């Protein structure tokens, strides 16, 4: 693993710990597991269909009842707010004729004033500098907290190993209307997704025309999470 990758992994894990540990006096950091189901909006389904763009799953993602399910590889959450970070397995492939694009290894970052869905685009390069800058803004200086959760930290590091070297890191969507519903065995986290400018350009490249713009409603996501014992 090269220095650039190690630095990114340190930043990602440190920020995850900070994101969910900001109110440590009132809550504790917990390790989360589960899965996230993405349900496309009617608008998203229509513009893809109308432009002949097919969507399929890759990796460990599955298609179920009109939606897509992504297992959570690793994650952290604040035990009260459940703000934190969820790293997922699998991805989606957009295809039109002989052109295609893959977005995979989604990382949902949820904090009080910001929530985004990051993704990796294999075959392209870049995005790491901006990614690390964003993580630094979330409080990279709290690396020391990593030592309090060695097992969970190792699991998250494995989930995102070589994240940058495996493709371009982009902001796939912005998360809005964040909500949570507590359950006896965990919680259901929900959000609406709005397409980013980067993701819109990627889809337009596959379509060879401008079929969608930034801010388009992608759909909704629900993460069924539980605390790892």
pLDDT, mean of residues 70-98? 86
pLDDT, position 130? 59
pLDDT, position 63? 96
Q: Could you tell me the sign of the dihedral formed by the alpha carbons of 1, 110, 55, 210, in that order?
A: negative
5 pLDDT more than 50: no
pLDDT for 202-229, tens place per residue?
888 888 888 888 999 999 999 999 888 7
User: Which among 67, 71, 95, 86 has a CA at the least distance from the CA of 20?
Assistant: 86
Cα distance between residue 114 and residue 78, in whole Å: 15
20 pLDDT more than 50: no
Residues composing the chain: 229
- Tell me whether residue 173 is in a domain: yes
Q: Do 225 and 36 contact (CB within 8 A), yes or no?
A: no
- Tell me whether residue 59 is in a domain: yes
- Tell me whether residue 89 is in a domain: yes
- Tell me whether residue 14 is in a domain: yes
Split into its structural domains, the chain has a count of 1
pLDDT for 101-153, tens place per residue?
999 999 888 776 778 898 989 987 877 765 565 555 444 333 444 556 566 55
Cα distance between residue 63 and residue 213, in whole Å: 25
Give the list of residues 6+ apart from residue 45 with CB closer than 8 angstroms, or none: none
- Tell me whether residue 213 is in a domain: no
Question: Would you place residue 22 in the very low, low, confident or very high pLDDT band (cuts 50, 70, 90)?
Answer: very low
pLDDT, mean of residues 87-93? 93
- The pTM score is 0.80
> Tokens at residue 65, please?
């009842």
Report which of residues 57 and 160 the model is more confident about.
57
User: Which among 75, 48, 210, 58 has a CA at the least distance from the CA of 156?
Assistant: 75
- Tell me whether residue 175 is in a domain: yes
Q: Where are the alpha helices (DSSP H) in the chain?
A: 3-21, 42-50, 128-137, 150-160, 197-207
31 pLDDT more than 50: yes
- Tell me whether residue 122 is in a domain: yes
- Tell me whether residue 105 is in a domain: yes
Cα distance between residue 76 and residue 166, in whole Å: 23
21 dihedral zone (left: phi>0; alpha: psi -120 to 50; beta): alpha
Q: Which residues span the domain enclosing 114?
A: 3-208+218-227
> Tokens at residue 218, please?
């992608």
Cα distance between residue 222 and residue 229, in whole Å: 22
């Amino acid at each position: 693993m090269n220095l650039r990758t190690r630095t990114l992994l340190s930043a990602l894990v440190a920020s995850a710990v900070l994101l969910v540990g900001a109110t440590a006096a009132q809550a504790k950091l917990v390790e989360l597991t589960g899965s996230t189901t993405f349900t496309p909006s009617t608008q998203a389904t229509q513009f893809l269909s109308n432009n002949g763009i097919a969507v399929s799953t890759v990796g460990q993602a599955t298609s179920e009842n009109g939606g897509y399910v992504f297992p959570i590889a690793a994650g952290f959450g604040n035990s009260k707010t459940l703000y934190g970070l969820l790293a997922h397995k699998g991805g989606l492939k957009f295809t039109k004729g002989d052109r295609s694009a893959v977005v995979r290894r989604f990382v949902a970052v949820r904090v009080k004033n910001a929530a985004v869905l990051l993704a990796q685009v294999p075959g392209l390069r870049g995005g790491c500098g901006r990614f690390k800058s964003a993580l630094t803004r979330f409080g990279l200086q709290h690396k020391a907290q990593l030592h309090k959760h060695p097992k969970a930290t190792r699991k998250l590091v494995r989930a995102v190993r070589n994240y940058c070297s495996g493709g371009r890191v982009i902001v796939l969507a912005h998360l809005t209307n964040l909500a949570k519903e507590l359950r006896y065995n965990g919680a259901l986290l929900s959000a609406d997704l709005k397409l980013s400018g980067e993701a819109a350009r990627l889809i337009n490249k596959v379509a060879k025309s401008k079929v969608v713009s930034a801010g388009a409603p992608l759909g909704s996501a629900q993460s069924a999470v539980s605390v790892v014992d």
